[in-house]
Amino acid sequence: MDNIISVSQLSKTYAGGFQALKSVDLEIQKGEIFALLGPNGAGKTTLIGIICGILNPSQGSVSVGGNDIIDDFLKTRSMIGLVPQELTTDTFETVWTTVNFSRGLFGKPANPGHIEQLLKKLSLWDKKDSRIIALSGGMKRRVMIAKALSHEPQILFLDEPTAGVDVELRKDMWAVVKTLSDSGVTIILTTHYIEEAEEMADRIGVINNGEIVLVDAKTELMRKLGKKQLTVELQQNLEAIPTELAGHELALSADGLQLVYTYDTQAERTGIRSLLNELDKAGIKFKDLSTSQSSLEEIFVNLVKRPS
C-alpha cells in the first residue's frame, strides 16, 4: 500500500507548556478512510492542524505525498482539503459563489465544470443559487465539504464531521463520505463516536492523552481486542459461584440463573471445555449456551480508561 501521509515522531507543546501530542507516528494509506478515534482533548484537532500547516509542530516531521509540510508548504497544503471542527457558514453569499471563491484562494484557475460536478456529487446542485445562511444544517455541512474539495485535493480531513448532529444527518454524512471515498479521495476523519468509526473506517487509530494507542484495520482491531463471552443458562439458580469454579473468569447474574464466562479469542485455549467439565462435575445443569463478542465501544472504553 502507498502511504500518502507520513507522520514521524511528532510532538506538540502549546505555549502554556501543555503537551498535546507526544511523539506520534502515523502512516495514512492512499485511498483509505482512516478514523482517528479519541475522547475530547486527546489531541485530534492538534494533529490535523499540524498536518494541514495551521499549527507548528514542536518536534518531528510530516510528509504529504512525499513532500515535507514545512519545506513544501504550498504543495502539501494544496493536496489537502480541510473541513474544520468549527463550521463557519453564516454567510449571505450563495453556494456557487462561496465554493468558487474557495478554489481561488488556492490560486487555482476557475473551473466551473469541476465545481458543478462537485455540487452534484454532494446533492447541492439545486441549491447552488441559495444563500448559505438560509440552508439547513445538513446542507451547510455539505457546503463546507464542497469548499474543502473545491481545489481538487487528494486528501480530505473531516474534523468531527457529525458532532452535535442528529442521527439522520449523521447517516447522511456517512453516505457522502463513502461517495467521496469511492471517487478516490483519501479521507481522514476524527470522531469520538465509536459507531462512526465502526461504520465508516477501513482503519482506525486510537488516540488518548496525545499518544497513538494503536492503529489497526477495523476488522483486525475487533478480532484482536474483542473478548468473547459465553453465557450459560442454568436450569436452577445458584446462590453464589461454587468454589470449585473459582479458577475461571466467571460472573453470576443477579437472579442466579446465568453464568457468564469471559475468554480471550486470541488465547490458544478458550477454556470452555474445562469449564463445562467442571460444571458437570459440580452437578450444575444448564439448558442453553450462547456466545457474544464485545463491540468496538467496549474495546474503546477499555483502551482509553484512565488508570485509577
Residues that bind ligand ADP (CB under 6 A): 14, 16, 18, 20, 38, 40-46
201 binding partner (options Mg ion, ligand ADP, none; Cβ < 5 to 8 Å by kind): none
Query: In this complex, which beta carbon is closest to Mg ion, that of residue 44 or of residue 141?
Result: 44
Q: Which of 213, 296, 223, 211 is nearest to 12 (CA)?
A: 211
Kindly state the helix (H) or strand (E) to which residue 82 belongs, with its residue range: strand 80-83
Q: Which of 186, 147, 193 is nearest to 171 (CA)?
A: 193
Query: In this complex, which beta carbon is closest to ligand ADP, that of residue 45 or of residue 76?
Result: 45
Supply the minimum distance, in Å, between the C-beta of residue 51 and Mg ion. 13
146 binding partner (options Mg ion, ligand ADP, none; Cβ < 5 to 8 Å by kind): none
20 binding partner (options Mg ion, ligand ADP, none; Cβ < 5 to 8 Å by kind): ligand ADP
Supply the minimum distance, in Å, between the C-beta of residue 46 and ligand ADP. 3
Pair 156, 79: CB distance under 8 Å: no
The answer to whether 45 contacts Mg ion (rule: CB under 5 A) is yes
Pair 161, 177: CB distance under 8 Å: yes
Query: In this complex, which beta carbon is closest to ligand ADP, that of residue 19 or of residue 111?
Result: 19
Query: In this complex, which beta carbon is closest to ligand ADP, that of residue 41 or of residue 226?
Result: 41
The answer to whether 76 contacts Mg ion (rule: CB under 5 A) is no
The answer to whether 162 contacts Mg ion (rule: CB under 5 A) is no
Label residue 85 exposed, middle or buried (CB < 10 Å: 0-12, 13-18, 19+): middle
Instruction: Starting at the earlier edge strand, list the strands of the sheet with 258-264.
Output: 250-252, 258-264, 227-234, 286-293
Q: Output helix, strand, coil percentages for the chain, rounded to the nearest 5.
A: 35, 30, 35
The answer to whether 208 contacts Mg ion (rule: CB under 5 A) is no
- CB neighbours (10 Å) of residue 57? 23
Residues in the interface with Mg ion (CB under 5 A) total 3
Contact region for Mg ion (CB under 5 A) — 14-22, 82-90, 94-102, 108-116?
82-90
Q: Please state, in angstroms and rounded to a whole number, the distance separating the CA atoms of residues 272 and 276.
A: 6
List the interface residues with Mg ion, window 242-271 (CB under 5 A). Answer: none
Contact positions vs Mg ion (CB under 5 A) = 44-45, 85
